[in-house]
Structures are given as C-alpha cells and as structure tokens.
Structure 1
Amino acid sequence: MATVLAALAGLCSLLAFSGWVLDVPALRGFGLDDLPIWPITAIGYVCLALGFLASIANRDIAASLLWLVPLFVAISALYQTVTGHDLGIDRILFADLLSTQQGPHPGRPGAISSTAFLLLTFAGYGAGVRKWLSGGAGSLIATITLALVGAAAILILLSGTGRASTRTFSVSIPAAISTLLLAGAFLMLYSKLLWVRLLTGPSGEWRIIRVLLPAALILPILPSVLEQIIVANALLPPLQTEALVTLLNILIVALIAWWAVVRVARGQAEMTELSEALDQTTLVVTTTDGEITHWSRGCEQLYGWSVDEAVGRNKYALLRARCPIDDSANGVRFEDGRELIEICRDGREISVLEQSRTVESLGRAPSVLHNVTDITQRVAAIEALKVSEERLALATSAHELGIFEWDVPSGTLEWSPGTEQRLGVRPGSLSDFDGWRDQVEPEDVQRVLDTIARTVRDRADKFSYRYRFRQSQGGVRTVEGSARAFYDGEGNLLRTVGVILDVTEREEREAALRRREAQLRSVLETVPDAMVVIDQHSTILQFSAAAEALWGYRAADVLGRPATMLVPADRRALHLSTLDHFLKTGRGLVGEVITGTAEAADGRRFPIEVRTGAARSDGQVLLTIFVRNLSEQLATEERLSELSAEIAHVSRQSAMSELAADLAHELNQPLSATSNFLAAARMLIEKGEGTERIVELLRMGSEQTQRAGEIIRRMRAFMARGEVEMRTESVDQTIRDAAELILVGTGQFHIRVSYELDPEAPYMFADRIQVQQVLVNLLRNSMEALRTSGRQDRHITISSHKLSDQMIEIVVSDSGPGIPPHVLEQLFSRFTTTKGNGGGMGIGLSISKRIIEAHGGTLSAENRPEGGASFRFTLPAIEEGAE
C-alpha cells in the first residue's frame, strides 16, 4: 500500500510537471490555472516520492540522495522568502512561462510545500534510514503535514483563487495530492497503523483523537474564513484584521492545548493509578522468545531481581524455571494455569502458578503477559497432605492395620481396602453387622457387645476389643484394636471409627515363647552346672537347683542379695571391679572361661570354672553365669599327671628293655677288652717285662672299664624317675648323650648321624632327662623308619638354632619314607603310632608333646619336600653367662 501511494504521488507530480513541458496550463494545476504547481516544486515531489520508493526497497543511500533535492528546494525557498534575496533558483526552469504568471514570486515553492518537503524528508530519513525516529513521532509529523495541506486546501476553496493574501499559504492541487499521498505512504510504512487503532480502538483514547484531530484541522480555518469575510466587506482595517485573526488563532490553539492537556492529564492520572496498582502485582511482560520487557515491583519483591537486572534477560533462564511434571518450561510454549518451580535470587526455590496471555497490537510485535501467583505455601501444604496420606497408607499397610467405620442405625460397615483379604474372609462378607457377627466366634461376639454396652453406658469416647475371626478353611485369626465412639444429642451411639490389627502371628509367637520359656526353665533347673543370673548391680535374680546344691544356700535366701556373698571375702573387690570393667568397656567376662574360688554356706572353699553370657533388656544388663565345680576335675588332673609320669617312666623302661640286647653287646666289648688287657699285663709281669708296656696295657684296660661305666651311667640316668628339675643345661651335651644312647648297637644298619648345632644357642632352660626322653623317642622313630625303608642312604640330621622370641628350636630330620598323611593329621594323639600295626602303643609322641608343652614350647611334625620326615620342638633359651 505504501509503495502504491508513493508511486501515485510521483506520477501526480510528473503529470503536473508535463504541463510545463508541453505548455498545457490545465495540467499544471489540475484545472486551477491560477494555482499551478511550480516546476521546481514538481521536481521536488518527484524526488521525494522516488526517495520513499527507494527506502521501501531498502536502498538507503539512493533514498538519502533523492531526498536531498526536496530538502534543497525547501531550504532555498525559505531562505529567499525570509531574507528577501533572490538567488535566481525560482526561474531556473521555464523562465519565459513563469514570467507570465501572477504572484509575488512565480516559480518559488510556497510555505506549505516547503514545510511538507522538510517534514516528510526528516520523517522518511529518520524512520527509514537512521531508524531513530519512532512510529509515534513519525505519525505526528505525517499528521501535521496532512493538517497543513488540508487547511491550505480548504482555505483556497473558501476564499477563491488569485488573491494575493492567500498565495503565500496556499498550495496547488497537484502539490496537495502528492503531499497527501506521500504522508499516507509514510503512515502506512512507518507508523504501523497505530493511528488507525487509536481512531477505532475500544480504549478511552480514541475519543480524544476523534475530537482533537478534527478540531486541530478545522478550527484554525475559522479565523481565515473570518478574515475573508472582513476583507470582502471592508469591515475593519487590514492591520486590525490581521491582529484579530492572530488573536483568534492564539485563542484556538490555547483552547485546543488546554483541552488536550486536561484530558491527557486526567487520563495520565488514571493510567498512573492503574499502573501503580498493576505494578504491585507479580506481572511480567515478555516477548514471545521469553525476553523480559516489563518487570513489576511485585516481581522484585517476590524474586529479588531488580528491574535493571531483569529487563532484557530471558525470564525462564533468569529464574531457572522448570515444570514439576515434564520439566519442559521454556519461553515459547504458553499454557493457562501452568505450574512452575523457579529459583529466586537468594537461591530460594518457590512454586508459582503462571497464567500467560499473548497480546497482539497492530504494527507491533506480539507480547506475552504473565500473571504470576506464588503458590509455594499451597504446594507445600498439598505436598505435606499427600506425604501424610502416603505415610498413613504405608503405615497401615506395613502394620497390616484395618480401618473401619460402623454406622450403628443402619448397621453398615465400611472397611479400608485390603482389610477383609488380610483377615482371610471373602470381600464384601463384612459389609454389615450381621455379616460381621456370622464370621466371629460366638463367645467373642458377646464379649464385644458387652464392651460396647459399657462404653455407651459410661458415654466413653473410645473402647478396645479383641476377638477371633472364623475362616472358611477352618482356622481362626485373632484381631485386636480400638474405636472412637460418636453419640447424638440424646446419648445414643451413632457411629464408630476404629482400627483393627491382625495379631494371630503375635499370639502364636507369644504362645511359642511361653512354651519355650517353660522348657528353658525346665532345662535350667536340670542342667548339672550351677546357674546364677545377676543384674548390672551384681544382685542375684535367679538361683538354680544345681546352684543350691553347690553352695548350700536355698534360692529364697540369696535372691535379691549381692552375688559377692558366693565368693570369699578377699576376692569380692576383684569380682566387683571385673563387673564394672565389663559394663564400661564391654570386654571381659562374656566369651571367656574364668577360673576362681567360691565359698559355700558352711565356709568351705572350692575351685570353680565360670562361663558368662550377657543380655540387654530395657536398658538393663543381665548376666547369666554358669558355674562348674572343679574339685573333682583338679583331682582327676592331678591323678592323670601322676599317671603320665608313671607312663613316661614305663616308656623309658620299655625303651631300655628294647635296648637291653644292644647294651649287652656294647658292654661286652669294653669288658672283654679290659679282661684281655689285664691278662696281657699279668703275663708281662710274670715274665718280668718292662713296666712301660705293663702300664700301657693297664691304662687301656682302665679306659675300656670307664667306657662300660659311662654306658651304664647314661642308662641309669635315663631310667631314673626323679622329680622334674628345670635348670640350665648344655644343648650340645644333652643332644649328643641322647644320640649316643640310642645309637648303641646300631652300627650294622649303616645309619649316619650328623649334627648342625647353633653356637649362638649353647644353653637351654629345661629338664635334661625329659628332653632326652623326647629325643630318644624321635630318634628311635627315625631309626625304625630308616631300617624298614630299604634305602641305601640312611641319614639323620640333628640341628638347633635360636629363634627371635628367645626360644631354641631343635630339629630331628631323616631321609626315610616320611609319615603317611592320614597319620600326620592325628600324629600326637594318644594311641597313634608311626610304626604300623603292632609297632607300638602309640603314646610316645603324645608324652613327648606334653613334655615340650610343659616346658613352654611346641612340638610339630612335617614331611620334607626332598623326602623323609622332620620333627621340630622349641625350648626356652638361656644367654651364655646367665645364672
């Protein structure tokens, strides 16, 4: 539309200009020969129209150059009119034709055309090229231009043509038409039709525009009309006429301005009041992309962001908005009543209800109006209610609670979902009182009815009950619960609301617990060990029958009294300190076997073995103590110790009896040699030989005699039963004596014995005889294994070395076949032998293990990777030079 109007304006000016080119007066003024459009004015309108066309085509440079022509024409015309200097520009075209025209300055554009050139050029350049002229200001300029042209046209029609008084402010018909078309094109192009909406819109402003615009166009014509009447009738002199017209124009302008100011001020006050009211609400105006264009004071108070911080930013990005359902909030989609979660400036998270509405204005980009309501508390309340309901549902489901309501007049019963199924009855069978009564044990029904009767009689608020449901499968389920009673004004029971809980399993557990408790009490009463239960204050709570027999007290005499009465007086403080230590640290007593001394009612003391268990109940600590009398056990152990000594002695005697033949053969050699030496010496004496030879024979006989005595001494020492004597002994001498004792008479077996003795461990703290007994047992086992193995390499190694824990380790290894795995697992048990069937009693290694453990050491056996067995035992070490 703007393009069509601008093109028509250009064609109109060209048509009028062709009247000068073709010398057709009718075309110059479109029928008004006395008011033609001047050539230079026509060129100005043509360039002005072309400039608008170039601006529409976004040819800003071309538009700017074209608009320079009308601008130059207007400035030169105004300059010549104001200063009176004739620049010769008026008659630069068609001077001969212009000389025939009447008027003060033929060819010079009039004031109306010059003003139109200036206004339309300024408006087009500012709005179309530089973009700094708003639509409202451009509309105002175009409207002023229209008013000037319209006033001039009306003035010409009223006063007629050819009058000198009107030539200055007159306008030709072609110029008026071109001006109107160009002003209309500008309004269409840059004012975005706001004036159309102002004239037709439903707001109160249209009344002001409808009155003000005609008044501004028509009232200024009235003084000019009055002037024409006065001049035509010669009513006043010219000076007074001009003064009167000027005064009237001033009054008209003042009246229009006053009326406009009053109406605008009144409307502005109303708008200000409305704006202040709206500004207190949480109102946000954004573009369709979510960019904030208006941020109310209510939004500042709600979100904490100021206007300067909010305007220009994306609302949803600024507030980090998200939808609690699909989390798809953005600035493009709008829905009425959308709930959002937004973040305030201080990090606080709030819930809002956003109602959005798109507002479209003619000539303006659509805006989105967001009305925001803070629903944080409401959402929190709803969420709390929801959580409470879910918690109640979960609690009732977890505890298998049933909720019911009984309407007494109608007998209707309503149950919470799932209650009837949990009770094991058919859903709907408990819908009324009669159905309930048919499912409950008869005696329980009567008991519940009696409870309800007492409740109604006493006007009690609630009552409790317990009854059993009969199931179709033949079983029963026990329930219990309580109900709230509601009465009418006369005290009649109207309804009850209550809960029931299935306690069948609890009832069964309690019955089973009672049975187990009775059984446990029976067991505790018959257990052979005495049992005493005390609390954390050492007060006796239970005293079993076995405890009565052990101490000689009756249970009634000791219950409630301190447990220290059961131990000797000199050990009571230790008992209390041990109990206090356990209560503070949780260590000791429980899980340990403690030996001590108890005191009976008659003052007799006896050894005991104590095992303790602890239990915590209701913040209290209960200790269950099992006490065993060790008197018989200690006597038995003492007798066993004596028997072990006897067995060890017998074992040594048995070993010596097995070695008797070898010893006899071994003793025979030194004794025979001694006899031979003595016989030879006697013969030399009888022959009177020299004394040196006789002395040598006597010395050799003496050595053989000593050798036989040493063998007998070792045998007697090994066979001696005496008491155990722990003292410092030589490791080397003890090992070698035991080895020489066991090697007597074994030369024919070709068994080699080697020693690897650590010089850093020369002494041990032990009983030499018992250690030698262990070595003899181990060496005999090794020799037996080597003699029956059939191997050519028969080797026994005896080694010793010092351990890091101040112990000496002695190892006896052989190159025999090793120990069978099934024997190795229980090698040191009694009656387990390494010699096969009939090879021995199987007590030698057991005795050896007890001897080593009595010395504080350990005895172990293993098979060597290269073959053979290895026995290791440890003994306490003594530093050289220690006493």
Structure 2
Amino acid sequence: MQDDEGATAADRGAVTRFDAATLAALGALSSIVALLGWFLGLPRLAGFGLIAFPIWPLTAIGFLALSLGHLAEIYGRRATAAVLLAIPVAVALASAFQTMSGTDAGIDRLLFGDAVSGFNAAYPGRSGVNPIVSFLLLGAAGYLSILRPILSDELKGLALTLALGAAAASAFFALTTFPAMTILAYAADDPAARYRSVSVPATIGALCVSGAIFVRHAGNDWVRLFAVRTGRWRLVRLLLPAALVVPLLPPLLSLFEQRHQSHSILAYQLLLLLGNLLLVALVGYWVAMRIARDQAALSELSHALDNATVVVTTPDGTISHWSQGCELLYGWPADEARGQNKYALLRSRCQSSDHRLPVPAAQDTHELVEVTRDGRELRILERVHRVQSPSRGALLVLGINDISERVEAIAALHASEERLALAISAHELGIFEWHVETGRIDWSPGTESRLGLETGTLSSFEGWRSVVEDSDVQDLLETISSTVKARADKFSFRWRLVPPLRVRAVEGSARAFYTREGNLERVVGVILDVTEREEREAALRRREVHLQSVIETVPDAIVVINDEGSILQFSSAAEALWGYSAEEVVGRPFTILVPTAERGGSEAVFRRFLETGRGLADRVVTGIAQTKEGRSFPIEARTGVARADDETLITVFVRDLTDQAAAEARLSELNAEIAHVSRQSAMSELAADMAHELNQPLSATANFLAAARMLLERDEDRARILDLLRMGSEQTQRAGEIIRRLRTFMAKGEVEMRAELVETTVRDAVDLVVVGASQVNIRVNFRLDPEVRFIFADRIQVQQVLVNLLRNAMDALRQSGQSDKVITISSRRAQDQMVEIEVADNGPGMPVQVLEHLFSRFTTTKGPGGGMGIGLSISKRIIEAHGGTLRGENRPEGGACFRFTLPAVEQGGNE
C-alpha cells in the first residue's frame, strides 16, 4: 500500500510538472511568434492583431529567455535556468536605468531598428514599465525556485511564498496595465501611452510564466484542479483562458467604436469601465462560490478526518492534533494528548525490537507496538506524511491503522503454514496445483529436489509428461477423463518416473475444481514418494516366490502352523512323507500328523511353548509321526518361530529318521567293531613287549618251584620251602594280573558309566602300557590333583584313550635322540564341572601337516607304516560321547601334549 501511495504521488508530481512546463512553453511560443512578426515585417503579428501596440523585439527576447529559464528550472537544469533568467533581468535593469537617467545607450534599436523607429513612441524599442516589473518579479521568482531545494525548511516556505507573491503581482500588474485598460487614460497616438502600457504578447508571456509558477509550487485547490486529470479540469481550463481573454473584449469594442463611430470618447470610456466592473464582479462571484463550495467540502473532509485515527505532530513528535478516532482507539482525550510526545505517551516501539522508536522520517511507514491508556498493547501501522504550513512550519500527519487482529490472523496463518511445512517435510510430501487452461503446475518448495529433479522441471504439464512413463501418463489422463465425466471431486493416481532417476514411483490423490460450465479448471493434490515401499513389496514378492520354491524343493518336510495349532502350509515333501495332500490338512490341527497315543503330549508341549516360549524353538527334537495309512515312523524336527502383527507362526522342518536310525544302528555296530579292532591292534603291538615281562614272573616261578622241589627231596628246612612256594605264587599272580588286564582291555562288552577313581584308572592304563618301557629308558611322571578324585565314565573306554595316547608318546620318544625320555600325566579341575587329564611328552612333537588333520581317520602320528591312523579318531569320539573334548598341540618347550575332559563327580561317587 505504501508503494501504491508513493506511485500515486509520483504520478501527480509528473502531471503537475507537465502542466507547468506547458504554460512556460506557451509563454516562450508567444515570444517566438511575436519575433517572427518583426522578422517578416508583419506588425499585426508582432502585436497579436493590435498594430498600434506590438511587443518590442528586445522585450520579446526577454520574455523568451524568461520562459525558457523557468522551463529549465522545472526540469531540474538549475545552472541553465540561472543563465537564462539573467537575460530578462539585465534587459529590465538596462531599460530602467536609461529611462531614469534620461540617457539612450542605443541598445533599444539593435534589432529591427528601422521598423522600430517608425512607431510613434516615447522610447521606441525600449521595454516599458510593465515588462520591466514582470522581468524583475518573475526573474526573482525563478531564482527563489532555484535556491529553494538547498534552503532550510523555514527558508523554503519563505522562498515559496515570495515566489508565488511575485508571480501573483506580475500577473496582476500585467492585467491592470493591459492596453485595453489604459485606453481610458491615454490616447492611442500618445507616445508616452506606449511606454506605460503593455502589449498582448507581453501580457500572455507574463501570465503564462506566472501560471507556470503557480502550478509548479502553489497548493491551492484551484491549482490542484488544474493539474488533476478529472472531469472538473475541463471547466477550469475553459474558465482560465476566459478570465484572460474576456477583459480584452470591452477595450477592443471601444477601439472599434472609436474608429467607426463619432460618439463621445467619454461615453465609451464609461461604458468600458462599467463592462470591466461587471466582468470583475462576475469573476468575483464565481470565485466566492467556488471558495464557499470548497470550504464546505473541506469542512466535511475535516469532520470525516476527525473521526479517523489521524495524529498531527511536529517533527520532534509533539502532538498538535489528536482526532476523535485516536481518542476511541487509545483512550487518551485530546486535551491530555496535545502537547505530549506521541511515542512517549503511547510507549511506542518497533515490532522487531524492544527499543523506543526514533522520530520517523517523512513519507515512511512503521509497524509499531503501542500501549493504550488502560494498558492494552496494539499493533499499529503508522504512515507518515510531511506537510508544510506557512505559519506553523513543517508538520507530520500520521495515519494510524489498528492491525492487531490482522497481525494475529497472519501469525496464526504463519504458524499453520509452518506446521504444514513441517508435516510435509517430515512425511516428504509434495503439494501441487495444476492450472488446466495454461498447463502451469505450482509445487510446494523442495518437492522437485526430493524427486531428484531440478527446480522448474515440473512447472508445466509438458515438463511433467517428459519425465513420466508413457503408460502412466495415459492411465492418469484416462483417470482424469473419467473423473471429469462423473463430476467427481476427488481421484487417486500413481505414476513412475523414467530412469535413471532415483525416485521411481509416486502416488497421491487430488481435488478437482470445475467451472460453472462443468469444465475442469484446476487440480490441487498431494504426492508421496513410494519407491522404497514398492521396492520392499517387490523384494517381499521375490522372497515369497523364492521361499515357495525352497519349500517345494527342500528334501525335508515343512509344516507351518499358527498359534491356534492349525496347519497353514504343507509342502510337497510333507505330502510325500505323510501321504496327505495339502488341501486335506490345511486348516486342520497339527495333531493329525502324530499317533493317537502321542497327541495329548504333543498338544501339551505346544501349549507350554506358547505360554513360556520354551520347549520348541532352537531345539532339535525327535519323536514319532503317523502317516495317512497309520504307519508310525521316527522323525527329527527343528522348529522356527516368527511373530508378526500379534500373530505367531511356527515353521517345523521334519526329517524322516527311518533310514537314519537303521544306518546309525549299523554304524554303531561298525564303530564297536572298529574299536575292538583298534584294541586288538594295540594289543598286537604290545604282545612282544608283554612276552618279556610275562617271561620274567614265569621263569621266576619255575625257579622257585624247582628249588622248593629240591628242598623237599632233601627234606630240608620247611620254612625255606614255604617261602619259595610263596614267592613262586606271587610271581604267578603277577603274570595272571597282567593277563587279566589284557583280557579285560580286549573284551567287547557294553558301555558302563559309573564313578571311577581318577588315579586308579590312570595307573591301570599306565601299567598296561609301560610293560617293557624300561628297555628304552622311558619314565612316567604323575601329577594328579588329590582334590580331583572321581570321574563319571566308562573305565575301559577311558583306559583305551589313555593307552592310545601313551603308545603314541612312547613311539615318539623311541624315535627321538634324547637321553631322558619322560611322559607326564596330569589331572586338574576344569570349568563346568569337568576334570582335565593331560598326557605330555618331551619328544620331537608333531609335524604341521599332522596337526591340521589330527583327528581325521587314517591320520597317524607314527610316520609311514607306523599305524592304521584311526586311534585318535576313535579316542576323540569316545571322549565326546562322555560329554568332553579332546585336543592336541605341540608344547613350546618341545614335545606333544594331549588334553581331554571328563565329567567330574563329588567325592563318594554322587554325581
């Protein structure tokens, strides 16, 4: 609004300047026409029809320079104006000096001297009293106009007053000394009459320049009417020339009568006087009526303005006028408000800051926060207009508009827009408006960039069409067509962007607006990037297809049930296993797949899992299933659980163990045979060493018995005979114990798990192995923890492991070149209630290639031809069957080390 008011003021200023320039140009034109009359030798043209009263050439040049000087000032050429205005002033001063001093410098007849001298005049060619006065007054007015912009406010008003006064005086003097007005006192043939009167061109020039000054600077209503382009300006433009021309008519009539009639000159002069008085009275009446009407309009305007919220202050903010509208708005009466500083009274501050507002500049607009008398804060839009009063100086007229409600509404709108923008940004939505007739599409900020497009790409329908798949464009056009046909308010759509854009799929909905004729006018809608959702859906479809193919091709049967125990999916492998088709079992309880006797237990396990979450998931369970024909068969089941949308889905992978059970039974038999063969192989290796050890007690026994027989035959000391028999018996028992241990180790019996003493188990195995070890100087050290006494194991199988590890250690020590060959057997308590037994030697250790495949079948530590390579494999399986672990490694200090763990039991044999 402020810009509109500024533009209107600028337009009014341009119109006023144009009118003032037009008047000045008319004055210059009148002088040029008069000079042309002198140049062409046409006195009638030089006097504008009055041959007896032409304008002198020098005077015409003065009025021409005067008009051009004011024209230059109007358009801001102040230096040019100052030079041009000096010409008429110089002409006036030169003419006045010659007349007053009685001298003749000869400058009066410089132009057209012969023609000028032919006139009966007191001073031919010299400017008369009227032109001299006009030159001085209007020249002074021009210089005041030039100086006015650089003066202070007070001097500007004074300069403007003087300029307008000079213009008015010049105009009045020109009219009063017009030739027609001087006929009453001077005869046409009187030489002095020409000097005291003024010609028509000079009068026109003086009046035009005076009018230009009034239009340029005056602020009266009749001048504004002259400048404003309304219906009233025509009347004013007709009346002004009439006021200038009508006074010429009586004198012209008088001259006409003097030439053609013989009436008394006095009578004509009286008639002329009465006519002029009548014309002056008519003009005065018209001016009085205009003033009365203008005063009435001003009174009405003043009353209206008083009801408006208008404040008039001095430049420092002191209130000089406080309207009734301000009283109603602020609550302060006029008598209390006048004389106070407006901004201090209302505690004014700028809306954007807390400091007090400084004194405003002219022609400015402020948005203020002001406080009423009762303490309420108002949001005020204040417009400042500077006016100039001749008597009171500069004043500021403040237009006050209460915009509190508008500000609150705008704030609420901004808050709503911010919330909407945040919601749009959070959901990555895009809002658009499509103008159907023009094809223009307006988008919310950031929409195109979120779609991976440059801003402006989708600003038109054709631009949108160029980046969308053709099939989707056609589908959308068909949707819009059907929507328009049905006059529907809403419709939904989906379209895809052409590759390689990042965003591929967009969907949304829109609201359609129609003209009165039913044509689609515009569409407002919202879009959403659904690329990720579509990609997820596509991936989900691919996974479903893949899962279905897996279910159909996996060899294990797959059964999917819900938390109610109903079968949801039954794979083709399950159909082949149970003999049911999927249609027969889907929707039925899963218990139809197990024997009748097992259904109660299976149902209980299933319910307990739903309540506690334990018992099925992440476990491998075995059980019995029943086919459609009633045949029972063993199964192994693995269960997976998935929870989604408050629904539990249980997937069971079922494997038929019929063939596996038979294979495991056969494998168990084979393993027993292999273990037996392993023991036999081990014993075969021990046979040679044991023969030497058995030979010693048997030979000793034979020698003891032979000595006893000799003593009996000699009938010698019976005590000595008994000692020999006792010692022979001990040696026989020793040999028998060795044989018994060997037979026990070789026996093929059932596994018997019980509490066994660690020390007894270890030492019996060592006694079995070290027979003959003294031949190679092998020592066995025991480092058994006395706190760890019992293990829960099968003694024979544990001894088999120890025998195998000891035999391997002894073979390695035999091949080493060390003089001190030592095998160390240790025991200690391990974690998880286990006992760790370690067999270590100080031999050469095991090769790297052996360590990599240490417990594989047919991997031997004895080198080529040293063994079958199944001992460690069997030992590892034995230890793992006991719930322990067996591992081997090379010792840092040299030699090999094997450790295995077995379950520990408390002292006394209680597990």
TM-score (norm 1): 0.54
Q: 1:677 to 1:632 in 2, by over 3 A?
A: same
Partner in structure 2 of residue 223 of structure 1: none
Q: Secondary structure, in 3 states, of the residue corresponding to 1:790? A: coil
CA distance in 1, matches of 2:726, 2:356: 129
Q: Confirm or deny that 1:406 pairs with 2:435.
A: yes
Is it true that 1:491 corresponds to 2:518 in the alignment? yes
1:150 corresponds to = none
Instruction: Flag the 1:442–1:845 CA change in 2: closer, same or farther, 3 A.
Output: closer
Compute the displacement of 1:547 (Å).
Answer: 0.7
Q: Quick one: distance in 2 between partners of 1:537 and 1:581?
A: 13
Deviation at 1:566, TM superposition (A): 2.2
From 640, 646, 667, the equivalent of 1:613 is 640
Structure 1 counterpart of 2:807, one-letter code: R
The 1-side partners of 2:709 and 2:654 are apart by 80
**Comparing 740-749 with 595-604, which one deviates more in the overlay?**
595-604
Matched position secondary structure for 1:602: coil
1:827-874 Cα offsets, whole Å, 9 max, x none, are 444444333444333322232232233334443445545444443334
Partner of 1:385: 416
1:810 matched to 2:843: no
Aligned to 1:190: none
Which whole-Å CA distance do the structure 1 matches of 2:328 and 2:510 have between them? 58
Output the amino acid matched with 2:628.
A
- Counterpart CA distance in 2 for 1:430 and 1:331 is 48
Contact 2:833 2:904 (8 Å CA) reproduced: yes
TM-fit CA distance, 1:665: 1.6
1:557 is matched with: 584
Q: CA deviation at 1:661?
A: 0.8
Which of 440, 448, 455 aligns to 2:483? It is 455
Aligned-partner residue type, residue 723 of structure 1: E
Which of these residues, 535, 543, 552, is aligned with residue 525 of structure 1?
Answer: 552
How is 1:628-639 mapped onto 2 (pairs within 5 angstroms)? 628-639=655-666
**Structure 2 counterpart of 1:462, one-letter code:** K
Quick one: which of 609, 624, 627 aligns to 2:651?
624
Pick from 716, 736, 741 the counterpart of residue 763 of structure 2. Answer: 736
Preserved CA contact (<8 Å) 1:819 1:834: yes
In percent, how many aligned pairs have the same letter?
A: 59
- 2:882 matched to 1:871? no
The Cα of 1:389 is off from its aligned counterpart by 4.3
**Aligned partners of 1:352 and 1:375 also within 8 Å:** no
**Which residue pairs with 2:814 in the alignment?**
787
Q: CA deviation at 1:279?
A: 6.9
Instruction: Work out whether residues 860 and 869 of structure 2, in 8 Å CA contact, stay in contact via their aligned partners in 1.
Output: yes
Displacement, 1:551?
Answer: 1.5
Which residues of 2 match residues 430-449 of structure 1 at below 5 A?
Answer: 447-449=475-477
> Is residue 691 of structure 2 the alignment partner of residue 664 of structure 1?
yes
The C-alpha deviation readout for 1:126-179, integer Å capped at 9, x for no partner, is xxxxxxxxxxxxxxxxxxxxxxxxxxxxxxxxxxxxxxxxxxxxxxxxxxxxxx
CA distance in 1, matches of 2:737, 2:843: 31
* Equivalent position amino acid for 2:432 in 1: I
Alpha-carbon offset, residue 441 of structure 1: 6.7
Superposition RMSD on alpha carbons, in Å? 4.9
SS at match of 1:594: strand
Q: Give the match's secondary structure for 2:682.
A: helix
- The CA distance in 2 between the partners of 1:354 and 1:415, in whole Å, is 34
Counterpart Cα distance in 2 of 1:814 and 1:734: 20
Distance 2:897 2:512 in 1: 89
One-letter identity of the residue aligned with 1:459: R
Quick check: 1:771 aligned with 2:789?
no
> Cα deviation per residue 1:412-460 (whole Å; 9 max; x = unaligned)?
2324267778879998787766777787777666654443343233221
Check whether the contact 1:764–1:875 (CA below 8 A) recurs between aligned residues: yes
CA gap 1:424/1:652 in 2 versus in 1, 3 angstroms: closer
Q: Do residues 597 (structure 1) and 645 (structure 2) align?
A: no
Could you say what secondary structure the match of 1:718 adopts?
helix
- In structure 1, what is the Cα distance between the partners aligned to 2:377 and 2:440? 41
Does the CA contact (< 8 Å) of 1:753 and 1:798 recur in 2?
Answer: yes
In the alignment, the residues of structure 1 paired with residue 744 and residue 645 of structure 2 have an alpha-carbon distance, to the nearest angstrom, of: 68
Gaps of 5+ in 1: 1-269, 286-291, 297-314, 317-321, 343-349, 358-370
Report the Cα distance in structure 2 between the residues aligned to 1:374 and 1:489, rounded to whole angstroms: 35
User: Under a length normalisation based on structure 2, what TM-score does the superposition of the two structures give?
Assistant: 0.52
Contact 1:553 1:601 in 2 (8 A): yes
Aligned positions of 1:8-47 closer than 5 A: none
Question: CA offset at residue 707 of structure 1?
Answer: 2.1
Counterpart Cα distance in 2 of 1:406 and 1:850 = 83
- Contact kept in structure 1, 2:860 and 2:867, CA below 8 Å: yes
**Deviation at residue 382 of structure 1 after TM alignment:** 4.1
Answer whether contact 1:339 1:351 (CA < 8 A) is retained.
no
Summarize deviations over 1:635-688 as a string: whole Å, max 9, x none.
323332222222111111001000111111222222222333333334444445
- Structure 2 SS opposite 1:637: helix
Equivalence for 2:702: 675
Contact 1:351 1:376 in 2 (8 A): no
Q: Distance in 1 between matches of 2:369 and 2:796?
A: 97
- Cα drift, residue 820 of structure 1: 5.1
Distance across 2 between alignment mates of 1:355 and 1:427? 37
- 1:456 is aligned with what amino acid? V
Shift in Å at residue 505 of structure 1?
A: 6.9
Aligned partner of residue 412 in structure 1, secondary structure: coil
* Native 8 Å contact 2:433 2:522 kept in 1: no
Cα distance change, pair 442–355 in 1 and its aligned pair in 2 (3 A): closer
Q: 1:478 to 1:788 in 2, by over 3 A?
A: same
Q: Equivalent of 2:879, from 849, 852, 863?
A: 852
In 2, Cα distance between the equivalents of 1:330 and 1:429?
47
Question: For the Cα contact (< 8 Å) 1:532–1:544, is it kept in 2?
Answer: yes
TM-superposed deviation, 1:478:
6.1
Deviations 1:319-342 (A, max 9, x none): xxx997xxx756798999678999
Count of residues in Structure 1 that have an aligned counterpart in Structure 2: 556
For 1:547 and 1:835, the matched residues in 2 are separated by: 50
Measured in 1, the distance between the counterparts of 2:516 and 2:501 equals 44
Deviation for aligned residue 1:720: 0.8
Q: Deviation string for 1:181-217 (max 9, x for gaps)?
A: xxxxxxxxxxxxxxxxxxxxxxxxxxxxxxxxxxxxx
Aligned residue in 1 for 2:671? 644
* Structure 1 residue matching 2:415: 3-state secondary structure: helix
Contact residue 791 and residue 835 of structure 2 kept, 8 A: yes
CA shift digits 1:476-527 (9 cap, x unpaired): 9665544322223343333333345566776666556545533432221111
Q: Structure 1's 762 and 379: CA in aligned 2 closer, same or farther, altered over 3 A?
A: same
Is the 2:503–2:529 contact (alpha carbons within 8 Å) kept by the matching residues of 1?
no
Question: Do the aligned partners of residues 485 and 843 (structure 1) sit closer, same or farther apart at CA in structure 2, a change above 3 Å counting?
Answer: same
CA–CA separation in structure 2 for the residues paired with 1:530 and 1:332? 87
Please give the alpha-carbon distance, in whole angstroms, between the structure 1 residues aligned to 2:713 and 2:898. 58
Residue 691 of structure 1: how far off its partner (Å): 3.5
SS at match of 1:872: strand
Q: Distance in 1 between matches of 2:624 and 2:506?
A: 54
- Give, as a single letter, the amino acid of the residue that structure 2 aligns with 1:391: L
2: distance between equivalents of 1:778 and 1:732?
17
Bigger CA drift: 433-442 or 769-778?
A: 433-442
Q: Does 1:534 align with 2:561?
A: yes
Checking the alignment, whether the CA contact within 8 Å between 1:337 and 1:353 is kept in structure 2 is no
